[in-house]
Amino acid sequence: MITITVAFIFLVIGFKWGAFVQKQAILAELKKLEGMAQSIAGVDEKTIQVKIEKIEDTFYLYDTKTDKFIAQGKSKEEIAEYLQKYYPDYVVLAEHESATRTNFK
């Protein structure tokens, strides 16, 4: 009878230890995922999605979220220089549809 009681106690201790180790592994994984989410949020804050309009031979870039004017130029290179000068820490992404429609190359 004592053997069964001791075995049962070790079994309970084993289950508790296993649950503790599993909980620690899950918490470590959650901490890693939170760090990744914060990194993604930081990237999103430094990204500007733009739509492109073309009037005659000039391209105009507008923020898709706010419709705020971002840049203008006659070529992709001219706009790139402007963006590097005034938005050096940002990634500017053009909408595929408006880039295709305006033949922005």
pLDDT in tens, 17-29: 989 999 999 988 9
Paired tokens of 61: 């870039």
Given a contact cutoff of 8 angstroms between Cβ atoms, the answer to whether 51 and 62 are in contact is yes
pTM: 0.59
Phi, psi of 57, rounded to the nearest 5 degrees? -115, 20
**Residue 62 and residue 31 share a domain:** no
Which domain covers residue 53, as residue numbers? 46-101
Q: Does 45 have pLDDT greater than 80? A: no
**Residue 24 and residue 56 share a domain:** no
Domain count within the chain: 2
**Residue 80 and residue 55 share a domain:** yes
The Cα 59–Cα 32 span in angstroms is 42
Phi, psi of 64, rounded to the nearest 5 degrees? -70, -25
What pLDDT, on a 0 to 100 scale, did the predictor assign at position 39?
65
48-55: average pLDDT = 93
Going from the C-alpha of 16 to that of each of 22, 63, 95, the distances in angstroms are 10, 55, 54
Number of H helices, E strands in the chain: 3, 4
Q: Does 98 have pLDDT greater than 80? A: yes
**Residue 24 and residue 4 share a domain:** yes
